[in-house]
């Protein structure tokens, strides 16, 4: 059993070091991760410059590139063996609802979707003043990976896992969830550089809007590990007839 571990916080982050340790007695673990924090990189590939791989220690590599670059390289020719699974994380911060569209943590897991087993993205719901219980996130990842090895789910499934930032003993259980929604994000923050020119910071994500029972937001808020199965098909199948009828009437 060979597991590829990646993330979007960079190869030196506490979350990825804890994750690697937690999985090390279950499988052969190889880390290929970005050189620095690339949170928010989504599914981006670097196509304009070549990628270089640097080795840090045995089975740990970093790439000046995106999370998707790292996983793509690792499963498409960097090594002379195949991985069975990709585990991404443990991210410093939640990836709930619409966050998954921007998340590099989830993107790393998505890039592994054609491997033999489902891939897992694990995020710890840290926030201002929370403890940073990365050991909890790593332990949750270990439990899910071990379970997948015994009881595999369908292939090409992506599990988006969010873990409350509490000691493991305080976790109330595991819940299957759907993605909730956030409100529109906060406006950009305008500031000035030392020469008086305007600069902008992307503002924080919006507050939760659809966070009712069954959602990932609700599970985490109530002390449960949220496990959302994701799919890549973004087609809005229910809208196909309406779009078809609309195109019939197109003046062309
Ligand atoms: Mn991150």
Residue 160 Cα, ligand 1 centroid: separation in angstroms? 14
Whether cis (ω within 30° of 0) applies to the bond prior to 90 is yes
**For the whole prediction, is pTM greater than 0.85?**
yes
The enclosing domain of 110 has a CATH number of: 3.40.1210.10
What integer pLDDT is reported at residue 186 of this predicted model?
86
Q: Which residues of the chain have pLDDT under 50?
A: none
Residue 90 Cα, ligand 1 centroid: separation in angstroms? 8
Residue 107 Cα, ligand 1 centroid: separation in angstroms? 11
> Which pair of tokens denotes residue 182?
């956030």
Q: Rounded to an integer, what is the distance from CA 64 to the centroid of its chain?
A: 18
Tell me which residue range forms the domain holding 104: 2-248
For 88-141, give the DSSP string.
EEEEES---GGGGGT-HHHHHHHHTTTSSS-EEEEEEE--TT----HHHHHHHH
pLDDT in tens, 2-60: 999 999 999 999 999 999 999 999 999 999 999 999 999 999 999 999 999 999 999 99
pLDDT in tens, 107-119: 999 999 988 888 9
Domain count, the chain: 1
Helix (H, G, I), strand (E, B), or coil: what is residue 115? coil
Which residues lie near ion ligand 1 (Cβ < 5 Å)?
8-9, 39, 91
């Amino acid at each position: 059993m060979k597991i590829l571990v990646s993330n979007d916080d960079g190869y030196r982050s506490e979350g990825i070091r804890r994750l690697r340790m937690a999985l090390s007695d279950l499988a052969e673990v190889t880390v290929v991760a970005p050189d620095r924090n690339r949170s928010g990189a989504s599914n981006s590939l670097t196509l304009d410059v070549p990628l270089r791989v640097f080795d840090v220690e045995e089975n740990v590599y970093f790439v000046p590139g995106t999370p998707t670059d790292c996983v793509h390289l690792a499963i498409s020719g960097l090594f002379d063996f195949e991985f069975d699974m990709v585990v991404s994380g443990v991210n410093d911060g939640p990836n709930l609802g619409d966050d998954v569209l921007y998340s590099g943590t989830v993107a790393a897991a998505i890039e592994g979707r054609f491997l033999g087993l489902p891939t897992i993205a694990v995020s710890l719901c840290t926030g201002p003043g929370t403890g940073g219980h990365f050991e909890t996130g790593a332990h949750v990842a270990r439990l899910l990976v071990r379970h997948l090895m015994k009881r595999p789910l369908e292939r090409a499934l992506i599990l988006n896992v969010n873990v409350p930032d509490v000691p493991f003993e305080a976790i109330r259980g595991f819940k299957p969830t759907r993605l909730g929604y956030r409100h529109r994000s906060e406006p950009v923050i305008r500031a000035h550089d030392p020469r008086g020119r305007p600069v902008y910071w992307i503002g924080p994500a919006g507050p939760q809007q659809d966070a009712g029972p069954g959602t990932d937001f609700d599970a985490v808020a109530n002390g449960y590990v949220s496990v959302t199965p994701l799919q890549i098909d973004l087609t809005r199948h229910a809208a196909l007839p309406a779009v078809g009828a609309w195109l019939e009437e197109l003046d062309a």
